[in-house]
A = this chain, B = another copy of it.
Amino acid sequence: MNYSAYKNVNLLGGLLREKQELNRKITIHAVWKQFENTGRIGAFSCDWEEGMEQKPHIFWDSDVAKWMEGASYILAKTRDKELEAKIESLIDKFETNQQPDGYFNIYYTVCEPGMRFTKRENHELYCAGHFIEAAVAYYEATGKDRFLKLVMRYADLIDQTFHIKNSAAFTTPGHEEIELALIRLYQATNEPRYLALSKFFIEQRGANEKDGHCPSSQDFPIRSQRTATGHSVRCLYLYTAVSALAKELGDSELARRCQDIFFDIYSHKLYITGGVGSTNLYEGFTRKFDLPNRGAYAETCAAISLAYFCRNLLDLEKKSVYADILERTLFNGILSGLSIDGKAFFYENPLEINVKTNNRLIDAAGTERHAATQRKEVFDCSCCPPNINRFIEEYESFLYDREGESVYVHILAESTFDDGTAHVETHTNYPLDGKAKIVYRGAEFLCVRVPDWCSNFTASSPYTMENGYARFHHPGTVLLEFHMDPVLVEANLNVQNNIGRAALMFGPLVYCAESVDNGENLHALYVNQNLNAKVTFDPFFGANVIETDGFRKLQNSTALYRPYSENFFEKTRIKFIPYFGFANRGESDMLVYFKVKEIN
């Protein structure tokens, strides 16, 4: 994370700020409680023995580390003794149970002692990476360096084992993460060995016989990669690291590889919600334009890692496309991972729920896999909930950027930016509407992104367009309006399942409709192309809901087959809610893409 950008920002109001308050009041505590109940917190005592319940799992360390990171971001903004005490108690146990040579991994300490660094797929370095991120965050939030020093000892051991001696059973991690964590550790400590170790992991990938090939990882030499493949989270954590490394090294070839990967996703593999990963089978990317709605995997963590990747791409070059996708996933495919009450989560974020289809089998002989229709408080593999904890507290890091004499506004929010020289105040209800008043001083230029969804933009001052940003040349007050109307958006025709269908968007928000509002059989509803939309703020969602004109296809026969009846429709209104708010009012069908009826 670009911590300097983060600490200069004060998020003061609006939807994003409300989600942070929810996180601080509810979600961070809800996740802690589930982690206590499931044994993840207790596991830090490292006293599990064969035969006991709650056997530590290989990725539990990372779940708790992400929670620590998220809690640290809260501490960076607010004094919270309870959270700090919880983190300190975990650090105590980390210190107590860290091995003399610096090693720390609960699973390999109590479940498979003596087997450290032997199984590439066992998330060991992934867990280490998350501890590193947590320690850096805690250090930057509090100034306390105990945890940082503990993880540095561990990082030093990893450096010795993997980089210097090459003595582990594998060379690069099966699940990427530590690569980006080491760069953050380097940025926090200025110790070049950590940058070198990250570079080593990145460049050894796919170049090393010892690793074999794990088909769900990006096991190809990094400089030969052009397309997003394999496990989405692994791919995007890797490229988050590669883009940071490209920036640190000024390596334009690596930067180009990152851009290739991004544009492959952007052009072929991205859900309209900003979700990625079209199959549950390896939680990963599939072929171009393969974007099933009901079968979407679109893991919350994958969307979060896409946002991190976009943040680093913006660090490489200020082009609005990266912020467009960041915004798309931030307001849709990530936010949908959290329930409105802040206590429950989606691991997968499908674009359609069809309860009947999920229950199509009437017989115990067969089972089918369907995405969950209701959020859960904890998962066996509970990576997403603490990832939401930390991501929500990083909102500040996505809003602004400073580069030379320009301050960039990537995403509008009621907020301030102040880096000591430049000062920016943004007043806006975004994303409820597209109006903003921005006051800036101390920097020559203010560059405000004109979002991809906006076709009509007005400003009170003259500006020039540059890479998708409106660049203002005179400090002072700028009144902006990104005119926001409900619009129907269609996918490329190569996304065959969506041909003839469209999704409703309003500004950056994707909308969906649920049977709880619209009755059974959402597939029989057609959106009227002439929307005649009514936009209303709904406090339950903290966002606008939209009603449009539509049609319901009718039938006057119970026959299974009959001559096609051309035009047997009744007029109706369709109620849409923000996609991020689906599945919060009991089990319900949900649909994003609706058939469109052209007006005769």
Q: Which positions in A face B, CB cutoff 8 Å?
A: 214-216, 229-230, 266-268, 270, 272, 278-279, 281-282, 284-287, 289-290, 354, 356-357, 359-368, 455, 487-497, 499-500, 502, 521, 523-524, 526, 529, 553-555, 557-567, 595-596, 598, 600
A229 & B492 in contact (Cβ 8 Å cutoff): no
User: How many copies altogether?
Assistant: 2
CB of B596 within 8 A of CB of A564, answer yes
Residue of B nearest to A520 (CB): B494
Decide: A560 near B267, CB < 8 A? Known: A356-B290, A600-B598: yes
- Chain B residues whose C-beta falls within 8 Å of the C-beta of A492 in the assembled complex: 555, 557-562
Q: Decide if B286 touches A360 in the complex (CB within 8 Å).
A: yes
A215 cross-chain contacts in B, Cβ below 8 A: 363-365
Tell me the smallest distance from the CB of A445 to a CB of chain B, in Å.
29
> Quick one: closest B residue to A284, CB to CB?
B363
Interfacial chain B residues near A356, Cβ < 8 Å: 287, 289-290, 496
- CA A285 to CA B595, docked complex, whole Å: 29
Which of A281, A360, A488, A524 has the most C-beta atoms of chain B within 10 angstroms of its own C-beta?
A: A360
Tell me the nearest residue of chain B to A231, going by C-beta.
B365
Residues of B contacting A502 with CB < 8 Å?
564
Instruction: Evaluate whether A362 and B489 lie within 8 angstroms (CB atoms) in the complex, with A560-B267, A566-B529 already known.
Output: no
**Residue from the list B282, B500, B559, B566 in contact with A595, Cβ < 8 A:** B500
List the B side residues contacting A360 at CB < 8 Å. 278-279, 286-287, 290
Residue of B nearest to A359 (CB): B287
Given A555-B493, A566-B598, A598-B566, verify A560-B270 contact (CB < 8 Å): yes
Complex Cα distance A368/B281, Å? 8
Q: Do A279 and B558 have beta carbons less than 8 Å apart?
A: no
Closest B residue, CB atoms, query A213: B364
Please measure, in the bound complex, the distance between the C-alpha atom of A362 and the C-alpha atom of B235, giving whole angstroms.
14
Question: Interface residues of A: mostly helix, strand, loop or mixed?
Answer: loop
A-B pairs with beta carbons under 8 Å apart, 28 shown: A214-B365, A215-B363, A215-B364, A216-B365, A229-B362, A267-B559, A278-B360, A279-B366, A281-B366, A282-B361, A284-B366, A285-B362, A285-B363, A286-B360, A490-B565, A491-B561, A492-B557, A492-B560, A493-B554, A493-B555, A494-B521, A496-B523, A499-B523, A499-B595, A502-B564, A564-B596, A566-B596, A598-B600
If the complex has contacts A287-B356, A290-B356, are A564 and B489 also in contact, measured as CB distance less than 8 A? yes
Residue of B whose beta carbon sits closest to that of A491:
B561
Given contacts A566-B598, A598-B566, contact A489 B282 (CB under 8 A): no
CB contacts (< 8 Å) of A230 on chain B: these are 363, 365
Chain B residues with Cβ below 8 Å from A489 are: 561-564
* Chain B residue at minimal CB-CB distance from A455: B563
Chain B positions within 8 Å of A455 at CB level:
563
Q: Are B354 and A496 neighbours in the complex by a CB distance under 8 Å?
A: yes
Write out the residue numbers on chain B whose beta carbons fall within 8 Å of the beta carbon of A367.
281
Contact check: which of B282, B290, B555, B567 meets A357 at CB < 8 Å?
B290
Q: A282-B366, A362-B229, A367-B281 are in contact. Are A499 and B598 (CB under 8 A)?
A: no
- A529 CB to nearest B CB, Å: 6
Give A562 to B229 CA distance when docked, in angstroms. 25
- Taken together as a complex, chains A and B put the C-alpha atoms of A7 and B182 apart, in Å, by 84
Q: Among the listed B216, B272, B567, which residue makes an inter-chain contact with A598, where contact means beta carbons less than 8 Å apart?
A: B567
Chain B hits for A229, CB < 8 A: 362-363
Contacts of A559 in B (CB 8 A): 267, 492
Please report the C-alpha to C-alpha distance between residue A492 and residue B487 in the assembled complex, in whole angstroms: 31
Bound together, the chains give a CA A561 to CA B273 distance in angstroms of 11
Q: Chain B contacts of A488 at CB under 8 A? A: 563-564
Contacts of A361 in B (CB 8 A): 279, 281-282, 286-287
Q: Please name the residue on chain B nearest to A272 by beta carbon.
A: B561
Q: What separation, in Å, do the CA atoms of A279 and B366 have in the docked complex?
A: 9
Kindly list 7 other residue pairs between chains A and B, CB separation below 8 angstroms, not including A216-B365, A286-B363: A230-B363, A267-B560, A279-B368, A290-B357, A488-B564, A490-B561, A499-B595
Closest to A492 in B: B560
User: With A362-B229, A496-B523 in contact, do A490 and B285 touch (Cβ < 8 Å)?
Assistant: no
CA distance A554 to B598 in the complex (A): 16
